Amino acid sequence: MTREERLLAAMVEAVDTLVDNFDLIDFLHQLCGRCNDLLDVSAVGVMVTDPGGTLQLIAASDEHTRLLELFSVQTDQGPCVECHRSGAARLNIALGSPGQTADFPLFATRARQAGFTTTHALPMRLRRQIVGALNLFDTREQNLSHSDARVAQTLADVTTIAILQQRTIAHANVERAQLQAALTSRICIEQAKGMLAERWAISLDDAFDALRGHARSHQQPLTALCQQLIDGSLDTSTIQRP
């Protein structure tokens, strides 16, 4: 597909959030994949605010990025944290430049150790309401072009609308319950992929890909599948090994 067709596909995925069985975590992982594909970046992380207004990591394109973003949450510093606070995009941050990383030196050091040289953070915002932030990482010293920056913000905006619209469709109390459920689901998924990775002696990334692929091919919620693995009711021999 052309880039325009791939961008349109991302828009269609956002429209699909209108269905009753919308899976927030799976949708945000799709967003990571779309950003990798459309923007030619090395890694992507998505943070969403919990009911208390605190940023929480919900999705990441790989295990290294997940750990880096968790470090950002734990230390309360990093471009995503700053972007969420200000509501303004932070683009083309050279992680090796003390002048550009003065607000988050610990994060910059950890990001460089992970192999990244450049990062970008974009707000997930609708008017004055900020629901999270999108973080892009690159192992190459290259800036986002003006057109790529517009595409990245468009993806962040569409994701924001999808999240807010899904909340509106459901009962008023679901807004808090869904994000809390997403955080609970993340714990379940992390536990399941750790169990599978240890059982098969594979990486956490490969374990997650196997679980997600099995869930999608069987049209089963990812969290439900992971819970089956945890409680021992899932025959892992039915899952295709990476």
Task: Give the tens place of pLDDT for each residue, 87-114.
Answer: 999 999 999 999 999 999 999 999 999 9
DSSP 175-195: HHHHHHHHHHHHHHHHHHHHH
State if pTM tops 0.85.
no
- Locate CATH 1.10.10.10 in the chain: 183-238
Question: In this predicted structure, what is the pLDDT of residue 211?
Answer: 96
CATH fold for the domain made of 3-169? Beta-Lactamase (3.30.450)
Are 80 and 45 spatial neighbours (Cβ–Cβ below 8 Å)? yes
CATH 3.30.450.40 location in the chain: 3-169
Q: pLDDT tens for residues 17-64? A: 555 566 778 888 888 888 888 888 999 999 988 878 889 999 999 999
- Return the DSSP state at 40: -
Fold of 183-238: Arc Repressor Mutant, subunit A (1.10.10)
